[in-house]
Amino acid sequence: MNRALWVSATGMQSQQTLTETIAHNMANVNTNGYKRSVVHFQDLLYQNSSSPGGKSNDGEVPLGIQKGSGVRTIAISKSFGQGSLRNSSNALDMAIEGDGFFQVTKNNETLYTRTGNFTLNSAGQVVTPDGGVVSNFPTIDPNATAIVIAADGTVSITANGGTTNAGQIQLARFVNPEGLKAMGGNLYQETDSSGTATLGAPSASGFGSVSQYFLETSNVEIINEMVDMIAAQRAYELLSKGIKSADEMMRTATNIK
């Protein structure tokens, strides 16, 4: 009976983790550039009372008896599926359509983001709302009256009556973006699992394009999250009943005289 208690307990712990992750996704449904978190489970070790293909007094055992030990959470990853785009009135707001990240330098650390709601600091640098400097982005003339960013990342600036090509934005790609470490603030850190960042121009060599005056919204689908939340809650309830049933069976067995 102790085995049933343990198996049910591992299931409840896993469903609690799933519920917390779903709640986090739902809380960020309106966060620009947010990527939903996905929980991954794995079954625990099996107790083999009789292995498939083993021998018995009656001959070969075709199926065997393998008792599971429950479940555990092995990973919580990010799903980097494309979010919807919404219009913006800020000339420095940009959305990436396709593969790629903006590279940001913050506190002498190189980070990456899909959130393109940028602004200017006093030095004409393009920065994130919390002050991180967008790398590989041309400095903007403080006298600029118009900024045009093409799909390939080319930046044109109109200032003092003339228009000049200020440079081209660079995006970063990873072999395994799911291996990036989430740092909060929609920022990600490179890891051994993600691989080293590869820089390139938008719309070239597999990189996504850049859309000015747009922001990428969260890729959380609220209806799907609600359905998953209900399923996780029901599973949690059933597992708690499993613990109660195992306890009652143990009590009954103890009272047998």
Q: Are 93 and 115 in contact (CB under 8 A)?
A: no
Cα–Cα distance, 185 to 31 (Å, whole number):
10
Query: Above 80 in pLDDT, residue 250?
Result: no
Q: Give me the chain's average pLDDT, please.
A: 90
Query: Above 90 in pLDDT, residue 89?
Result: yes
Handedness of CA 90, 92, 93, 97 (dihedral sign): positive
Is 58 exposed, middle or buried, given 0-12, 13-18 or 19+ CB atoms closer than 10 A?
exposed
The pair of structure tokens assigned to 171 is 């995006």
H-run or E-run covering 96? strand 94-97
Is the pTM higher than 0.75? yes
- Cα angle, residue 115 at apex, residues 159 and 102 outer, rounded to 5°: 70
CA 90 to chain centre: 26
- pLDDT average, residue stretch 145-170: 93
What was the pLDDT predicted at 134? 96
The pair of structure tokens assigned to 153 is 């990342």
Residue ranges of the domains in the chain? 2-80+220-255, 85-216
H-run or E-run covering 56? strand 55-56
Q: Each residue of 123-139: pLDDT tens digit?
A: 999 999 999 999 989 98
- For residue 18, what are the contacts with CB-CB under 8 A and spacing of at least 6? 39, 228, 232
**Residues constituting the chain:** 257
Q: Are 126 and 170 in contact (CB under 8 A)?
A: no
